[in-house]
Amino acid sequence: MDRDSRIILDVGRMNEVIYTRCCIAGGGPAGVMLGFLLARMGIDVFVLEKHADFLRDFRGDTIHPSTLEIMHELGILDEFLKRPHQEIRELAGQVGQDTVTIADFTHLPTHCRFLAFMPQWDFLDFITEQARRYSTFHLKMQAEVTDLIEEKGGVAGVHVKTPDGPLQIRAQLTIGADGRHSVVRERAGLEVINLGAPMDVMWMRISRRPTDPGQTFGHIDRGKILVLLNREDYWQCAFVIAKGTADAIRRRGLESFREEIAALAPFLRDRTGELQDWEQISLLTVAVDRLSRWSRPGLLCIGDAAHAMSPIGGVGINLAIQDAVATANILGPILRQRTPSESELHVVQQRRNFPTRATQRLQILVQNNVIRRVLGSPKPLTLPWPLKLLRRWPILRRIPARVIGVGFRPEHVKTPEVHTSGSRESNRVAS
């Protein structure tokens, strides 16, 4: 039997109790990657995801060169690239009538000099498939963390709601990777510094035709922003709106909404009629914030739970994965021996503070100087001077490529692969 993972039935209270080394709340990019890395080191880990699958369309689709580099270091890159994906070597945007290339990834110092586009559910399926090769990896779907188990001034695990009834997972380390509406950070009483976001996103699908442009484009004009993600047979459309204006847009009616989309992307005009009901259009709220301290004894938050990222630059997934790699590098070796102290947990924040703050600062700069200005002005737009520079001097396109593709202080896998004996089934004990 595995010495870490035991399942005990507390018959009196009809409560199942699982003991493990590390439990991770949230099966997004941060949680799934950390679960994989710890299991690969031979550490028993439970990843808890509240949904039944990863198939939700509000996830971003970008897999960055730095994430591809991590997959290369893990020896899984070739396998990953066999899955259907698109390789984007340049990112372009349309401002008014002008189209300009914003980022050129072809000069990055990485194995893959492109941004891979793959629906995030396929990416998460791939990582969990890799993680399942290790008997120490456990993924529990439909497992919603509802509260923390507090003991002796520290966090000793989580309370979980499942279709089979309540569950307690007791762990030496609890990780909050449950995203920007994190229950874990709220229950832990960690202080949130809200940096503000002037926009929300209306998120919908419109069908795609083979004759449509193949690239992923941002369209900006007359107070409106539309981002189109190519998902082969349909466009995932993100219509950026000023925060709090969704009700006013709905009141103006679907016909006016369809016209706004068609005005920004005329090639979609003959298909906007597919939007027949507001039910087809989800409202995604954008938040930019960060915790002043990411940890408490027994608990660490990473990814959006520690620092909710704006969709600007499509870098949030990258940061979440980089946090997971740093956490495994710093805490994995300790966790194999014992419970990390709070000061050891804090080292993860010290390592990741600079990239988080620098990226958020850039996002806020773009929010305040571009998004707020665009959304506040119905006038036709001309190319702002930074984009004129990018058009005039193509070499400058390497700078946004570096920030988007690699980010600040990229992490590298330093943890070993350790093979454990015993099958998953041998972990189970009932009392």
Ligand X SMILES: Cc1cc2nc3c(=O)[nH]c(=O)nc-3n(C[C@H](O)[C@H](O)[C@H](O)COP(=O)(O)OP(=O)(O)OC[C@H]3O[C@@H](n4cnc5c(N)ncnc54)[C@H](O)[C@@H]3O)c2cc1C
List of residues contacting ligand X (CB under 6 A):
25-31, 48-51, 60-62, 144-145, 177-180, 183, 201, 284, 286, 303-305, 309, 311, 314-318, 320
In whole angstroms, the minimum distance from the beta carbon of 38 to ligand X comes to: 15
Identity of the residue, 21 or 50, whose beta carbon is nearer to ligand X in the bound complex: 50
Q: Which of 266, 293, 155 is nearest to 212 (CA)?
A: 266
Identity of the residue, 303 or 332, whose beta carbon is nearer to ligand X in the bound complex: 303
Identity of the residue, 2 or 38, whose beta carbon is nearer to ligand X in the bound complex: 38
Identity of the residue, 2 or 120, whose beta carbon is nearer to ligand X in the bound complex: 120
Residue 215, judged by CB atoms within 10 A of its CB (0-12, 13-18, 19+), counts as: middle
In whole angstroms, the minimum distance from the beta carbon of 57 to ligand X comes to: 11
H or E stretch including 160? Answer: strand 154-162
Tell me the C-alpha distance between 323 and 34, whole Å: 8
In whole angstroms, the minimum distance from the beta carbon of 194 to ligand X comes to: 15
In whole angstroms, the minimum distance from the beta carbon of 51 to ligand X comes to: 5
In whole angstroms, the minimum distance from the beta carbon of 309 to ligand X comes to: 4
Cα angle 39, 404, 116 (rounded to 5 degrees) comes to 60
Identity of the residue, 60 or 410, whose beta carbon is nearer to ligand X in the bound complex: 60
Tell me the C-alpha distance between 323 and 99, whole Å: 34
Identity of the residue, 306 or 387, whose beta carbon is nearer to ligand X in the bound complex: 306
In whole angstroms, the minimum distance from the beta carbon of 250 to ligand X comes to: 18
In degrees and rounded to multiples of 5, residue 147 shows phi and psi of -165, 170
Q: Which of 24, 125, 4 is nearest to 328 (CA)?
A: 24
CB-CB neighbours of 422 under 10 Å: 12
In whole angstroms, the minimum distance from the beta carbon of 11 to ligand X comes to: 25
Residues in the chain: 431
Identity of the residue, 304 or 411, whose beta carbon is nearer to ligand X in the bound complex: 304
What is the pairing mode between strands 62-63 and 115-117?
antiparallel
CB-CB neighbours of 169 under 10 Å: 27
Identity of the residue, 42 or 235, whose beta carbon is nearer to ligand X in the bound complex: 235
Q: What CA–CA distances, in Å, run from 273 to 109, 112, 341?
A: 44, 39, 57
Q: What is the DSSP letter of 353?
A: H
In whole angstroms, the minimum distance from the beta carbon of 25 to ligand X comes to: 5
Tell me the C-alpha distance between 43 and 181, whole Å: 28
